[in-house]
Amino acid sequence: LPHPPIYVVGDSHVLSLAWQTLSINENKSDKQTLRTATPFPATGVKAYHLRSTTKFFTHYNFHALLRRLPTHGQRRTIILSAGEIDCREGIGGTLLKGYYRSCNEAVEDTVLKYLGAASEIALEYNLQILIMPVAPHAYRSVKNGKSVGRAKRRETMYLWNKVLRSELQDSKWANVFLLDYEEGLQYPDQTSPTGFVLNPSFNADYTHTNNAIVPLVAEAIQNSGCDFDFL
């Protein structure tokens, strides 16, 4: 690797950063830290799967990846990506069964369980965890059959990131920090229920972002409040 690694663990969105160089300027300092984003994809993992009570393959696979991280017994920082699949297919079905009174409640409950699990994982594996937001889906023409579903999912993603931002702004979750760059991905679109879609500059395949997000992620690390000694 050209620089020391920072491991990016989670769903397929980790590949947006794969093998890219993150140039991080420490706050109140001219010191520049260079890290190679090294992907550890846990295909199909949902944020909800990280709960310790989960009995599903993706949960065990995720922990198998964490045990493979070459931390050499030292506290390390990882970037964690999860939540997009929850927003796309895992939140909403339960509403039909009466488990939640509103989508807002379902999203908030899922995010709280996610952050609780992330905090437990940070303690168990001696990690500092930087949480990636869920990127909004890109624009699809109304002629495309997927446009309606994508518009609804953007609303769920907006709520998801709003709860993440609210919960992590006061650092009440031990060793867990938010990479708060989601607003930098937005592109105004009044046909979307949220008033925005993914900026085309960051679009890879209408669901994933491309590596143009790297500067946004680096800046978000700088502003996250994390401990730079463990980068």
Convert the pLDDT of each residue in 79-108 to its tens digit. Answer: 999 999 998 886 755 444 444 556 788 899
- pLDDT of 75 above 80: yes
In this prediction, residue 96 carries a pLDDT of 40
Alpha-carbon distance of 216 to 37, in angstroms, equals: 14
- pLDDT of 42 above 50: yes
Mean per-residue pLDDT of the chain: 88
Of the pLDDT bands very low, low, confident and very high (cuts 50, 70, 90), residue 158 is very high
In this prediction, residue 206 carries a pLDDT of 86
Alpha-carbon distance of 103 to 88, in angstroms, equals: 13
Query: If we measure between CA atoms, which residue out of 4, 9, 8, 71 comes closest to residue 32?
Result: 4
The model's pTM: 0.91
Query: SS3 letters for the chain?
Result: CCCCEEEEEECHHHHHCCCCEEEEECCCCCCEEEEEEEEEECCCCCHHHHCCCCCCHHHHHHHHHHHHCCCCCCCEEEEEECCHHHHHHHCCHHHHCCCCCCHHHHHHHHHHHHHHHHHHHHHHHCEEEEECCCCCCCCCCCCCCCHHHHHHHHHHHHHHHHHHHHHHCCCCCCCEEECCCHHHHEEECCCCCCCEEECHHHECCCCCECHHHHHHHHHHHHCCCCCHHHC
In this prediction, residue 26 carries a pLDDT of 78
- pLDDT of 170 above 80: no
Least confident residue range of 115-124, 164-173, 176-185: 164-173
Mean pLDDT of 128-150: 78
Mean pLDDT of 128-132: 98
> Which residues, 6+ apart, have CB-to-CB distance to 174 below 8 Å?
119, 122, 123
